[in-house]
A and B are shown apart, each in its own frame.
Chain A
């Protein structure tokens, strides 16, 4: 498959009064055409910063991309100027934000907000743009688009606003769509509609999607591949089946175990992950998750674990996969979902730096 996006060793930091916050600490991943990659993690794990760096929407200063490359179709966008980025944003990459209430301009008609993109990127005439806007609104399932196109955001409901946002994002047929918690503010039934709509549009337009969320249910629904982030790093990455049926990192175990499932009816206590995420002004020595990790080994407090490869597509950053590590049993709730996957290597392989 063709690679659309390659992120290599991305590091983003912010200068604050309290010191430098290393929000993203060496993130690498790639994204194929037409694929959906879900990034999960708690607030502060760096998932939003990672995606905003891809759009270069980080306010600089105080933010800074201190290292790494972001290759879009083989072209590095990190050194690009603001002027050059304007040609990419909305056209090549576009974004859907979490809160449809605040991310639309309340003083502009919805139609004009869609037309803006078309006039700028595709040099359409106003009339053509308007017709296309109506078409787009119809595409995202807004009834009576001829009338809706002349309305203001406050006349739309939450779900309708998110649809309008999607219409804006898709107006210029972008190759990459970044959706930052697009359904978190919506009700479950509306969420289901929006997810269906996004999948449907992806099939029609062959867009790649980076889907940021903390809801593992949504991940299971939309993702082809999943990256789990913790404290500014990807700690595990794999196909959706590998993450849900054969997770290897204790943090992923913790996330999966802390969710009650609808089927199991035992009233046992939820396996909560104790403590809170670390402060990234001074990232702890060794593994950032060690302090909250009941499986932590002595080395976790000393040295950062390397990436291990479990299958062609499955990676995890934990010492537990080292040949010398003791065998550990994942929590009960995770063991129940574990299964043998055919693609798994016989033994985890250490990924060498720079490969």
Chain B
């Protein structure tokens, strides 16, 4: 397999620590992201998938655990200079294209903000050229540079958000529900654009979403989260054809497909965490059942799953 770009080790993000309303939003998750791949992260609202993304990029300081980007800890003490260097490599695209663009800035200034901060353009002319180039890359045109965000539709704004993320030539982009707020016909446009950029620039994506059919389409591997834990991680095809964790099975059985016949025959599974019946002393962790297919389970379940999946 390709080299690791990002290693996330036992990452924890707790809010209101020490108070009665403490929330363990992310509770000890471990996974790697390889260079050039798209890792999808799915789960229901409140499962911690967005928090995971935000903690990785250091919008939150992790409570515990490590995020290693090319072997370097993201959350360690850093000088301003080091932070800047790191910020260039990792960028984020947000869910709401209406809220994530400053309404008082022109599109050119929004896109060029990163270029200015990192001093990537030597002259005004070069800066604007870079902006034009980026606009073209994401399927907008030069004339759009001097307009304000409110003049654009949702899909176009999401393109501006992508152009902004690309401005500093990042290696890794975290896309937090980038298409949830868009219309179906526009969603496909944005997904196609993201795939094209990945091919051309060798980007690595962490794609966070709850729309499982789109996630399967764009991702190489998919992680499923439930209550702050990663419960299953597998190659996209494998996860859909052979979901092992009962929560994944329940999640997959709930997605309505655009096919009336399958829908009429649909049997929904519900997930009850009590089915596991874990004893107090059982050690729960991610275990590899088949190559590349990890499930969060106990020793006993591991043996059972292993037995079921012997070819």
Q: Which residues of A contact B (CB under 8 A)?
A: 42-43, 158, 187-192, 195-196, 214-221, 240-241, 244-245, 254-256, 258-262, 265, 267, 269-274, 276, 337
Contacts and interface: CB of A to CB of B under 8 A. Distances in A.
Interface of B: 44-45, 153-156, 183-189, 191-192, 195, 210, 212-214, 216-217, 237, 240, 250-251, 253-260, 262-263, 266, 268, 270-271
Contact of A272 (B185, B217, B251): B185
B254 A191 contact: yes
A262 B216 contact: yes
A260 B254 contact: no
Nearest to A158: B45
Contact of B44 (A189, A241, A267): A189
Contacts, number: 110
B189 A265 contact: no
A260 B188 CA distance: 9
Given A188-B212, A276-B155, A43 B258 contact: no
A104 to B, nearest CB: 18
Given A262-B240, A270-B192, A273-B188, A216 B210 contact: no
B183 A260 contact: no
A274 B183 CA distance: 12
A260 B255 CA distance: 13
A272 B188 CA distance: 5
A181 to B, nearest CB: 12
B251 to A, nearest CB: 6
A307 B162 CA distance: 41
B213 A260 contact: yes
Contacts of B250: 189
Given A219-B258, A244-B258, A270-B192, A258 B217 contact: no
Contacts of B155: 276
Contact of B213 (A43, A261, A265): A261
Contact of B255 (A43, A188, A269): A188
A43 B183 contact: yes
A240 B257 CA distance: 13
Contacts of B263: 217, 220-221
Q: Which of B262, B263, B271 counts the most chain A CB atoms within 10 A?
A: B263
A225 B5 CA distance: 49
Contacts of B257: 217, 220, 261-262
